[in-house]
Amino acid sequence: MKRRDLFFAVIALIVAWALAALVLDKAILPTPWAVGAALVKELGRDLPLHFLFSLWRVGASTLLAVALAAPAGLAMGQLKRLDRLFMPVVYLLYPIPKIVFVPIILLMLGFGDLSKIAIIFLILFFQILVLVRDQATALRPELVQSVRSLGAGRRALFRFVYLPASLPAILTALRQSVGTAVAVLYVTELFATKWGLGYYIWYKGSTQANYAAMYAGVAAMSVLGLGLYFTVDWLERRLCRWKYVE
Amino acid sequence: MLSLASVTFAYPHTPPVFEGFSWRAASGESWAVLGPSGCGKTTLLYLLAGLRTPSAGRVLVHGQTLTRPRPQTGLILQDYGLLPWATVRQNAALGLRLRRFYGPDGKHAPRQPAEVPTAGVDAWLERLGIASFADKFPAQLSGGQRQRTAIARTLALQPDLLLMDEPFSSLDAPTRENLQALTHDLCAENNLTLVVVTHTIEEAAVLGKQILLLGQAPNRSPRVIPNPGAGSPGFRERAEYAEICRELRSQMGNV
């Protein structure tokens, strides 16, 4: 995605929004400038803190998911016996919308941050697991053998073969799940917390009926998602330069 | 230098590929191993590389039983041997980097992260004519350039034994002949023992001063056809070459 294109997309969205707000003329859809003013005001209050809470939850669950799913995917892609054992289980669990586990996870892990992180983690985990596993299956045995013949043991194989081979899959999985992760983040922040953008949006909208501030929260959430997306993009261009040569 | 002493090897749930198979090669010799697919050519190479262990018998290099890959053995595979995410220079330096990775005792990583020694590597890239591609990735190279990179990576480790599995079979004829001549030159320059596995009669005749014929599994005893003219200038145009090809063709028919 080019920066210029993104800029024009933002402009077009704001124009459409302004038109809709003017035509509708209801409190529930304030104009972009009203929201802009609210955003500036809210940034001086506790919106940044809500943002940081959300960022922490998404960030922690992402790191946890990568740390657990990537090695598991690698192992399954490379060890046929392990794959035969666990892949049916993964295929059974993978298509289930993980959001249905929310009540169970709340019951098991309580109402704190842990359960919120666990729910997002579950979604990312399966996505990364499946993609990394497929990538590792496609890894040619000749490549592994030739690097072994150069004297590589397990550790060196991991560092020079498996890790770089699975990076693109990890980043693709992350890019694909950023949207879902942020959506689920919103849901998890609806209950049992007073911090996070999800709570903020719900509270401003439903309790205070401060719609301009509510939309400021929505904008912050979109910035969060976009920021994650750009981070993944940046990492991919830095770490997977070989994917971008002609 | 190299020998198989009554080696038996079988993959799980299949009849053995080798059964009590013995064979030896002296230092500095050039061997081609020829046979139809599935005859165990690649298995033989993996045994010599220490990537497979025989279920009975021994593989010996310099009189020592081989139990794992030895650092002075260079293995070059048909394709897929290069890391797609590393540049030509990084690929060529990989062997040296791995040495540093494990440190002087071969086990523990050195305390300080070692610099990748590029000077020696660059000299090999120069010798193989790929210095100008040093910063390209394998996907940006032709098949011949990729194989040159693989050879540079192996030679940078100063091996005494070069094992090649169908190294040039996916290349076009001029590139292939070029690289076959280069292989002879490099082996002579560096006093390498060469074992090339191939399924093409012509390649065996061009590369092997000794040709080992393998047949359908199980292989029990080696059949060796001497081919002393291989590697001499203009060999391909001589009657000797046509003769050895004819001989190999008829022998392969009887397998």
What does the pLDDT look like over A215-227, one tens digit per residue? 999 999 999 999 9
For A136-153, the pLDDT digits (tens) are 888 888 888 888 888 888
Does any domain span residue A218? yes
Does any domain span residue A23? no
Q: Does B98 touch chain A (CB under 8 A)?
A: yes
What is the structure's pLDDT at B108? 57
Whether residues B231 and B184 fall in one domain:
yes
Whether residues B137 and B173 fall in one domain:
no
Whether residues B151 and B180 fall in one domain:
no
Does any domain span residue B114? yes
Whether residues B248 and B164 fall in one domain:
yes
Does any domain span residue B78? no
Does any domain span residue A4? no
Highest average pLDDT, of B76-90, B187-201, B216-230, comes from B187-201
Mean pLDDT of B104-129: 69
Whether residues B128 and B164 fall in one domain:
no
Does any domain span residue A1? no
Mean pLDDT of B2-16: 90
**B89 pLDDT exceeds 90?**
yes
Whether residues B178 and B251 fall in one domain:
yes
Which residues of chain A from 131 to 160 reach within 8 Å of chain B, CB to CB?
Answer: 140, 142-143, 145-153, 155-156, 159-160
Structure confidence at residue B110 as a pLDDT band (50, 70, 90): low
Mean pLDDT of A178-198: 88
For A100-119, the pLDDT digits (tens) are 888 888 889 988 899 999 99
Does any domain span residue A11? no
Mean pLDDT of A192-197: 88
- The boundaries of the domain holding residue B105 are 84-158
Does any domain span residue B79? no
Does any domain span residue B204? yes
CB contact under 8 A, B73 and A149: yes
What is the structure's pLDDT at B37? 82
**B127 pLDDT exceeds 90?**
no
* Residue owning tokens 């009975």: B56
Nearest CA to A41 out of A186, A220, A203, A185 is that of A220
**A132 pLDDT exceeds 60?**
yes
What is the structure's pLDDT at A235? 92
CA dihedral A155, A157, A160, A161 (to 10 degrees): -140
- Closest residue in chain A to residue B84, using alpha carbons only: A242
- The boundaries of the domain holding residue A215 are 31-244
Mean pLDDT of B189-208: 91
Does any domain span residue A5? no
Whether residues B196 and B237 fall in one domain:
yes
pLDDT: which is higher, A244 or A56: A56
- pLDDT averaged over every residue in chain A: 90
Look up the CATH number of the domain holding residue A35. 1.10.3720.10
From A199's Cα to the closest Cα of chain B, the distance in A is 43
- Quick check: B77 and B151 in contact, CB under 8 A? no
Question: Is the predicted ipTM greater than 0.85, yes or no?
Answer: no
Whether residues B68 and B174 fall in one domain:
yes
* Residue owning tokens 């305390």: B111
Does any domain span residue B77? no
- Quick check: B153 and B86 in contact, CB under 8 A? no
Domain boundary among B134, B158, B182: B158
CB contact under 8 A, B139 and A146: no
Whether residues B254 and B167 fall in one domain:
yes
CB contact under 8 A, B98 and A165: no
Mean pLDDT of B152-165: 90
Domain count, chain A: 1
Domain count, chain B: 2
From first CA to last CA, the distance across chain A in angstroms is: 18
**B233 pLDDT exceeds 90?**
no
Whether residues B149 and B51 fall in one domain:
no
Q: Rounded to two decimals, what is the model's pTM?
A: 0.78
Tell me the two tokens of residue A10.
């933002």
Cβ contacts of A80 within 8 Å, gap of 6 or more: none
Does any domain span residue A18? no
Burial of B127 (0-12, 13-18, 19+ CB in 10 A): middle
Nearest to A156 among B51, B86, B102 (CB): B102
Whether residues B62 and B170 fall in one domain:
yes
Chain B interface test: which of A135, A147, A150 (most B C-beta within 10 Å)? A150
A242 chain-B contacts, CB cut-off 8 A: 84-86, 137, 139
Nearest to A152 among B76, B85, B98 (CB): B98
Domain boundary among B158, B179, B205: B158
Cβ contacts of B3 within 8 Å, gap of 6 or more: B22, B23, B24, B25, B59, B60
Whether residues B186 and B251 fall in one domain:
yes
For A41-98, the pLDDT digits (tens) are 999 989 999 999 999 999 999 999 999 999 999 999 888 899 999 999 999 988 888 8
Does any domain span residue B53? yes
Domain boundary among B158, B186, B201: B158
What is the structure's pLDDT at B107? 57
What is the structure's pLDDT at A98? 83
**B201 pLDDT exceeds 70?**
yes
- Least confident segment among A229-238, B28-37, B63-72, B135-144: B63-72
